[in-house]
Copies of this chain bind each other. A is one copy, B any other.
Amino acid sequence: MTAGSSEYDCAFLTTVLPEDRVALERSRREQFSVDASVHEPSMPDAVAWPESTEEVSAVVTACAERAVPVTPWSGGSGLEGGGIPVAGGVVLNVKRMTGVDVEPTNLQATVGPGVVYDDLNETLATHGLRFPPGISSGDVATIGGMIATNASGFNAVKYGETRDHVRRLEVVLPDGEVVECGRGVVKTSSGYSLKDLFVGSEGTFGVVTGATIAVSGLPEYERAALVTFPSRTAACAAVADVIGAGLVPAAIEFMDSLTVELVNEYRDAVSLPEEPTLILEFHANNSGIEEDVAFARGICEDHDAASWDAPGAGEMDAVWSARRDALPAYRAHGEGLEVALLGDVVVPISNYPDIVAAVADASEDLDLLTPCVGHAGDGNLHYAPLVPADDEGARERAAELNDAVVEAAVELGGTATGEHGVGLGKRKFMRREHGAAVDLMRTVKDAIDPNGLMNPGKIVPDGNE
Contact = CB atoms under 8 A, between A and B. Distances in A.
A56 interface: no
Interface residues of A, number: 96
Contact of A185 (B216, B379, B447, B459): B379
Contact of A415 (B106, B183, B220, B285): B183
Interface stretch (A173-181, A269-277, A384-392): A173-181
Interface string A418-457: 1111100010011001111110110111111000000000
A45 interface: no
A349 B105 contact: yes
A460 interface: yes
A426 B190 contact: yes
B192 A444 contact: yes
A414 interface: yes
Contact of A190 (B107, B187, B295, B417): B417
A164 interface: yes
Contact of A414 (B183, B216, B378, B413): B183
Q: Max chain B CB contacts within 10 Å: which of A187, A346, A378?
A: A187
Contact of A433 (B178, B183, B350, B379): B183
Contact of A189 (B105, B107, B187, B420): B420
Contact of A244 (B105, B190, B378, B440): B105
A222 to B, nearest CB: 14
A464 interface: no
A193 interface: yes
A59 to B, nearest CB: 19
Given A179-B435, A286-B288, A346 B191 contact: no
B199 A434 contact: no
Contacts of A199: 193
Nearest to A461: B191
A457 to B, nearest CB: 14
A358 interface: no
Interface stretch (A146-154, A326-334, A397-405): A146-154
Interface in A190-207: 190-194, 196-197, 199-201
Given A177-B436, A349-B105, A440-B173, A418 B187 contact: yes
A435 B180 contact: yes
B437 A187 contact: no
Interface string A129-155: 000000000000000000001111000
B378 A434 contact: no
A188 interface: yes
Contact of A193 (B183, B200, B285, B377): B200
B437 A188 contact: no
Contacts of A247: 285
Nearest to A82: B189
Contacts of A181: 434, 437, 440
Given A105-B240, A217-B245, A190 B434 contact: yes
Contacts of A156: 186-187
For the complex of A and B, the 3 pairs showing the least CB-CB separation, nearest first, are: A288-B288, A217-B246, A196-B196
Interface of A: 103-108, 128, 149-152, 156-157, 160-161, 163-164, 173, 177-181, 183-194, 196-197, 199-201, 216-217, 220, 240, 243-247, 284-289, 291-292, 295, 346-350, 377-380, 413-422, 426, 429-430, 433-438, 440-441, 443-448, 459-460
11 contacts: A149-B189, A150-B187, A150-B193, A178-B436, A183-B414, A186-B346, A186-B378, A190-B417, A191-B438, A192-B460, A286-B289
Given A180-B434, A246-B285, 10 more contacts: A150-B188, A173-B440, A185-B378, A185-B379, A187-B346, A191-B200, A192-B201, A217-B245, A217-B246, A288-B291
